[in-house]
Amino acid sequence: MSPTELLTQLVAFDTVSRNSNLEMIAYLERYLRDYGIDSERIENDDGSRANLLARIGPEVEGGVVISGHTDVVPVDGQPWTTDPFTLTERDGKLFGRGSCDMKGFIACALALVPDWVKRELKRPIYLAFSYDEEIGCLGAPRMIERLVANCPKPSAVIVGEPTLMQPVTQQKGITSLRTVVTGIEAHSSQINQGISAIHVAARLVTKIEAIMAELVDEERCNHAFNVPHSSLHVGKIQGGTAINIMARQCSFEWEIRHLPEDGFDAVFQRFDDYARTVQDELKQRDSRFAIETTQLTHVVPGLSHRDNAQAIAICEQLLGKRELDAVAYATEAGQFQNAGLEAIICGPGSITQAHQPDEFISIEQLEQGEVFMRRLGEALS
């Protein structure tokens, strides 16, 4: 089948992250089995979701991993003009949820499976398809652990997030957090008798913004990124009972998108030190006061421009160019790199279309992805 035909099949699976992806995984298993390829499921704890890992070619070192996630973001509340789960062609574009991010890349790989199995590959191609990338890159670590433990070491991992087929060697990491401030309720006319959780939360939010200024002042910047410093952002806040009651509780949810060279811990420590100082100060007034911060997601590591010479060389060979880029969004590439594998991000489609209503991938980009996969098979033969 062509990439477009395969993408039609893949988009029809509603793999929004809140749902199971097992129907799509079963389809992929059947597709690969038809070409004599065995695959392995690596499931989550309750078996409702699964990664899929398969090898085409000999069990030797030096292979290339094609990595993509099977889940997509929700469509709720978005003004789609087409059915999100029916691939629709219009004006040279293919519309559908996940068409760009990143079922288009998976379709390109699947389309070349018949060609790859006919070749006498000297080095293997691994297909590594994950679950729950969109909610914190939750699935990939189990699959990466299995790959590293059981397979001869690959020379490169290509994570096919949409980059317009431009090789990307750096990405920021990301962690989502929730901070809950527990204050002391009092009548607002007796403001010296209580501790407003909202007022304290405001101090913490202001500190979060100030940390970014500190990083810039200290020249902790990487100008390959369009936002050259680690960024901190508060996206949600809620608290209080009534306008005339000093708030007992206020919580806010926020994120740290850290430069790969900063790491999460170093940036978070600045906030945590400040929060502990504020908490110690206010506990002297009332021992019930508390500030508690918890991670909503695991730390997704950044991708550093290091230890990637083979991955860059492969992309240069297949694409005929060496222009390298950096992206602020998070991917699974840093997880592969942390496991000791060379990783690069490169895939068809534009990130500007990802997560949008009427998400699309151009037919031209899909064709470029297909050419890339064909050249990969030739290079490893």
Same domain, 195 and 285: yes
Asked whether 3 and 87 are in contact (CB, 8 A), the reply is no
Residue among 157, 177, 112, 90 at smallest CA distance from 332: 157
Same domain, 56 and 122: yes
Same domain, 244 and 101: no
Phi, psi of 242 (to 5 degrees): -155, 160
Output the pTM of the full model.
Answer: 0.91
Tokens, residue 87: 């691939």
- CATH assignment at residue 179: 3.30.70.360
Residue among 361, 359, 354, 349 at smallest CA distance from 165: 349
- pLDDT, one tens digit for every residue, the chain (381 residues): 999 999 999 999 999 999 999 999 999 999 999 999 999 999 999 999 999 999 999 999 999 999 999 999 999 999 999 999 999 999 999 999 999 999 999 999 999 999 999 998 999 999 999 999 999 999 999 999 999 999 999 999 999 999 999 999 999 999 999 999 999 999 999 989 999 999 999 999 999 999 999 999 999 999 999 999 999 999 999 999 999 999 999 999 999 999 999 999 999 999 999 999 999 999 999 999 999 999 999 999 999 999 999 999 999 999 987 678 999 899 999 999 999 999 999 999 999 999 999 999 999 999 999 999 999 999 999
Residue among 361, 224, 193 at smallest CA distance from 303: 224
Is the CA virtual torsion 275, 276, 282, 286 positive or negative? positive
Q: Which domain holds residue 264?
A: 173-295
Between CA 13 and CA 11 the distance in angstroms is 5
SS3 137: coil
Same domain, 148 and 228: no
How many domains, the chain? 2
Sequence-distant (6+) residues with CB within 8 A of 342 are: 155, 156, 157, 307, 308, 309, 310, 311
| Most distant pair of Cα atoms in the chain: their distance | 81
Same domain, 196 and 61: no
Same domain, 45 and 75: yes
Q: Among all residues, which ones are annotated catalytic? A: 71, 133
